[in-house]
Amino acid sequence: MLSFATRRFGLSLLILFVAVTVMFLMIRAVPGDPVQIMLGPRATPELQAQLTAALGLDQPIWKQLLIFYGNLLQGDLGTDVFSGRSVTDIVFQQLPFTLELIFASILWSASLGIALGAYAAAHPNTLIDRIAAAISVSFVAAPAFVVALLALLVFAVHLQWFPAIGAGEGFWDRLDHLVLPAFAIGLSWVGYIARLVRASMLEVMGESHVRTARAFGIAERRVVMVYALRIAILPVVTVIGVGMGFLLSSAVFAEIVFARPGLGKLVIDSITTRNYPIVMGSVLISTALFVVSTALADLINALLDPRARTAH
């Protein structure tokens, strides 16, 4: 188990390293002088030279990369071109908003999805099972940002049940602001998780420990809830871990649609102003988040199911 964990995290680090290097080289390969873009056409040559030196752009590319990694290891992602603030500070200031949104989305969609899937598996081929199946296929198909826009239109603009803009202040207000974006992000997951849980439930229900539990005369409700569901839930963990990238992507759109602060809004704003250090920093952090969560999901899976340890 330990050797699996080491190998898995080693691989994650390698992937992250390659990804960041590629990203770095891509940014440097862009045509056009970033200094000129930042300062505008009316900057003096002295000013340009000063900024070029400050950004380290006068060094050869391999040295820039080394310096970048040196700073990165010290938790320094560079400085914002316009405000001069540390990119690390800016990114980590926005990150909690995005994480809050992602967790809220997972929480509601996983609970509803698991309940729906478990119920469908316990009553296979009934009308409710069929309806659940149809709903899950349809929900899977709905892209988060379209749902977000339609939800904004119906529930915020027309019905005015929920606020349309921002993240709110204070616990209840924040919760109120979370409802619509979390709904939009989570909707496609409900169906997906329901289908997953249903399939794995049906498999688990046929296994011997469930049969034994039944033979002992344990109430059906308890058999389903305690003996079957506990095992059937495992694939959901992996799927959520691997789905982190999707969740992040949906969060970007939800943040734009509902004008919420967060990583997504930060990236979009910095792209329009060509603030490359911030773009780089946010993409780096979100990639790291994704790589780590995928690795964690693999580890949890390996911990619970020894067969998965040799699979990779």
Partner 1 sequence: MEKSHSELGQIIVGVARDPLGLMGLIIVGVIVFCAIFAYWIVPYDPIAMDIKSRLQGPSSAHLLGTDQLGRDTFSRVIAGGQVALKVALPAVFGAMAIGLTLGMIAGYGPKWLDNLLMLFFDTIRSFPTVMFALAVVALIGPSLQTVVFVVMATSIPTYGRVARTQTLTLRNSEFILAERSMGASMARILGVHMLPNIIGVLAVLAAMDIPTVIALEAGLSFLGLGVKPPTPSWGALLKDGYSLIRQTPWLVVGGGLPIILATLGFTFLGESLRDVVDPKLRKQR
User: SS3 for 81?
Assistant: coil
- Minimal CA–CA distance to 82: which of 34, 21, 27, 20? 34
Interactions with partner 1, residue window 267-286 (CB under 8 A): 267-268, 271, 274, 276, 279, 282-283, 286
Is residue 246 a contact point for partner 1 (CB under 8 A)? yes
The upper half-sphere exposure of residue 100, i.e. CA atoms within 13 Å in the direction of its Cβ, equals 21
CB of 299 to partner 1, least distance (A): 16
- The residue (of 213 and 232) whose beta carbon lies closer to partner 1 is 232
Interface with partner 1 in residues 19-78 (CB under 8 A): 19, 22-23, 26-27, 29-30
Q: How far is the CB of 266 from partner 1 (least distance, A)?
A: 11
Residues 285-304 close enough to bind partner 1 by CB under 8 A: 286-287, 290-291, 294
Rounded least distance, CB 30 to partner 1, Å: 5
How far is the C-alpha of 105 from the C-alpha of 181, rounded, in Å? 8
Of residues 80, 253, 301, 302, which one binds partner 1 by CB under 8 A? 253
- The smaller minimum CB distance to partner 1, of residues 17 and 175, is found at 17
Q: Using CA atoms, how far apart are residues 255 and 266, in angstroms rounded to an integer?
A: 10
Name which of 90, 100, 47 is nearest 270 in CA terms.
Answer: 90
End-to-end CA distance of the chain: 13
DSSP states of 106-135: HHHHHHHHHHHHHHHHHSTTSHHHHHHHHH
Tell me which of 81, 190, 204, 252 binds partner 1, using CB under 8 A.
252
Q: Under 8 Å CB-to-CB from 210, ≥6 apart: which residues?
A: 204, 223, 227, 228
Task: Please give the Cα distance from 287 to 47 (Å, whole number).
Answer: 34
Q: Which of residues 99-158 bind partner 1 (CB under 8 A)?
A: 137-138, 140-143, 145-146, 149-150, 152-153, 157-158
Binding site residues, partner 1, CB under 8 A: 11, 14-16, 18-19, 22-23, 26-27, 29-30, 137-138, 140-143, 145-146, 149-150, 152-153, 157-158, 244-246, 248-249, 252-253, 256-257, 264, 267-268, 271, 274, 276, 279, 282-283, 286-287, 290-291, 294
